[in-house]
Structure 1
Amino acid sequence: MIDKHSRIDMHAHYYGGGLVDTLRARSTRPYLRTREDGVTVMVAMNGEFPFTEHYHDHRVGLAEMQVAGLTHRLLTFPGALGVDLLPAEEIASAISAYNDHLAQLGAETDGALIGLAGVPLDDMDIACAEVLRIRRDLGLPGIILPSNYFNSLEEAAMLAPLLEAANEYGCHIMLHPGLKVGQEPPPLPADFVQYRLSAIDLQSSAAQVALTVILSDMLEEYPNVSFQVVNLGGTLPFIFERIESIARHRNPDAPFPTDRLRRLWYDCASLGPRALEAAVKVLGADRIMLGSDYPIFKDDPYAHAVVPADLSEDEKAQVTWKTADALFKRLELLRQAAL
């Protein structure tokens, strides 16, 4: 049950649900391997990292949630890994089984763990059927999609059938950094790779994604879809005034629709109180949710970002639980109306 005592983490990832066996059986990225020193590592698109129990054992995450005081967590299919981009005949059944597992976790934890499913993007017919099953039969709130599909209108159009299917029962969609089917990772920067890729480039890409959605007709064409842009919309809360100035000076008859930014949802994953303060002023607390990016980051987002922020108590409550609660209630009403 969600109430005023809840703290809802709306951005975390989970590699369990059978994906460990699937990835161990692979020999090309993404895959799991055991090094000579006995450490298991995930060989991902841009390198490799130690694959600890935090990634695939939900009990470990639950224990850490309890210590931090987090009451609910949105566990997402590991979209950035690229599993959902693999050939459908190879991965569709594994993704379906993973989604079943997410639904089971929700039941076993009395709703403390909330699953955001994956879909096999290599086959649009199968992907559409799966998103309908996810919402109609499993009751999961939605799916995660690679944000590279939203870098432009042309690329977003590739997912039109999937968005139409998502709209049928209402669907929450997290737009998370990730490649498109058949797309190769870009060359690594010459230096300072972690900072350039995981901070500067990532934040810019999040802003590009939000821009595509608000400047397109997607919000009108798919009114039952809620789009979540990660990391507070990237750079948008900090450069929106420049964007407005560009429109005012170069397109005076077409002002930038800043108000449409408030029709998306955002999380504060891996960011802190100063960024949260700026985003609340631009986007509104009723559109912002907690996010940890667990297990990649392990900070408690409530203690790390919300508590020190110069926000009113009501704004803090909005970010901590009210925004997510209102979103889940909206999704369930849409689902029930379509059944």
Structure 2
Amino acid sequence: MIVDAHAHFLPRGYPEGAPECFPAMEPIDGGDDLLLVFGQTRFPAKQVFFEAEKRIEAQDASGASAEVVSPMPPLLRYDLPAGDGLALAQHVNDFAAELCAYDPERLIGLGMVPMQDPDAAAGELAAIADRGLAGVEIASNILGRSIGDPAFLPFFQEVERLGLSVFVHAMPSPSDRLPMSAMGTYVVGIEGMYSAASLILGGTAEACPDLRVSFSHAAGGFAMSLPRANYFWSGAWNEEPRDLERAVMPDDGPSPLDYARRFYYDSMVFDRRAIRYLVDLLGADRLLVGSDFPAMLREDPIARTLRSSGLTDDEWGQVASENAYRWLGRTRP
């Protein structure tokens, strides 16, 4: 059994009379595909983005048993007025519930919330749970603010209280330090690292010990920064016993690595050597299959690189499906 924990959907349309700032799905000549038009975004969307039957067919073709489907990241527009952002989220969440109702065991939905208004975002979580969705997708930053900012702590506390899951998708933040050509490559690594580190450094991980959160693309460069962070905490190399005389920031609480091992990470890192590092550092019980489908093509067959990474049968069973259901807080079928 293989669960693709990083896949996306788009609603097939938006209600008449919606605010002008809403997206539009425009027909594409010569077929049934649609063009997402949202601000500067122009994205051609194949039917598999919004037709449940097509998604199941695509799962069967690739060898996937189920997908965790989250909104296509361009929909996470936190620059919209808060009321419009909430209305958009509610429409997207309604569509997610409709899509997943086609086959709830094979299509597990995540919704979205207007993180530009943390109170409204927290207030929408109960409705997400009522729709049968497993949790929410959020961006790695909120208009340049880290998700570990104390302003967002009540939101995460409500997520934890309701037993929902969070998927953090790396998104560009306002910056001119790298060219636009880096937005889909290096920035993903930087943003993933910032978002995961901020949950530790901002106190969210401490305040919400039962929070179930996953990061796209293994939180980018986060895993490479952890040994250094752990050294500053412990004064020791290689996770050897703490040496408080050498520790720069001694702390009686969990180590950075202990906190990091509470999170989940999709393993779409494009190289088996990177996967081996993640398994060695964080544990096979922390990794999920991910593909970014259908925005990106799946490997053929799905998780081909994972399968070739030298995992034991037990490790493969965890990564292929067991971890996904633990992250979702659901019983594996």
Give the Cα separation in 2 of the matches to 1:291 and 1:154. Answer: 22
Matched, 1:108 2:116: no
Matched to 1:103, the amino acid is A
When residues 37 and 190 of structure 1 are mapped into structure 2, their CA distance, relative to the original with a 3 A threshold, is farther
Shift of 1:122: 4.0
Which residue of structure 2 lines up, in the alignment, with residue 49 of structure 1?
43
Which residue of structure 2 lines up, in the alignment, with residue 148 of structure 1?
141
Shift of 1:223: 3.0
Give the Cα separation in 1 of the matches to 2:91 and 2:38. Answer: 22
User: Could you state the TM-score of these two structures normalised by the residue count of structure 2?
Assistant: 0.80
Shift of 1:22: 5.5
Matched, 1:204 2:200: no
Question: What CA RMSD, in Å, does the superposition of the two structures yield over aligned residues?
Answer: 3.4
- Over the matched positions of the two proteins, sequence identity in percent amounts to 24
Shift of 1:54: 3.2
Mapping for residues 5-24 of structure 1, pairs under 5 Å: 6-16=1-11, 20-21=13-14
Q: In the TM superposition, what whole-angstrom CA distance separates every residue of 1:276-332 from its partner, at most 9, and x where no partner exists?
A: 11111111111111011111111137443211112212111111011112233x367
Gaps of 5+ in 1: 1-5, 333-339
Matched, 1:315 2:315: yes
> Larger % of helix: which?
1
CA contact (8 A) 1:80 1:146 kept: no
Mapping for residues 1-339 of structure 1, pairs under 5 Å: 6-16=1-11, 20-21=13-14, 31-32=24-25, 41-43=35-37, 48-83=42-77, 85-135=79-129, 137-149=130-142, 156-178=149-171, 185-187=174-176, 189-190=178-179, 193=181, 196-245=182-231, 248=235, 251-254=247-250, 257-269=256-268, 271-300=270-299, 302-328=302-328, 330=329
CA contact (8 A) 2:50 2:99 kept: no
- More divergent stretch after superposition (90-99 vs 238-247): 238-247
- More divergent stretch after superposition (305-314 vs 37-46): 37-46
Q: In the TM superposition, what whole-angstrom CA distance separates every residue of 1:251-278 from its partner, at most 9, and x where no partner exists?
A: 4353862222101111113533222111
- More divergent stretch after superposition (7-16 vs 104-113): 104-113
Shift of 1:198: 1.3
Aligned residue pairs, count: 316
Q: In the TM superposition, what whole-angstrom CA distance separates every residue of 1:123-145 from its partner, at most 9, and x where no partner exists?
A: 4443222102222x223221111
Give the Cα separation in 1 of the matches to 2:318 and 2:143. Answer: 27
Q: Which has the higher contact order (CA 8 A, sep 6+)?
A: 1
- More divergent stretch after superposition (243-252 vs 155-164): 243-252
Shift of 1:97: 3.5
Give the Cα separation in 1 of the matches to 2:276 and 2:141. Answer: 28
Partner secondary structure for residue 74 of structure 1: strand
- More divergent stretch after superposition (311-320 vs 247-256): 247-256
Gaps of 5+ in 2: 237-245
When residues 76 and 153 of structure 1 are mapped into structure 2, their CA distance, relative to the original with a 3 A threshold, is closer
Q: In the TM superposition, what whole-angstrom CA distance separates every residue of 1:221-266 from its partner, at most 9, and x where no partner exists?
A: 2233211111112113334334445664984353862222101111
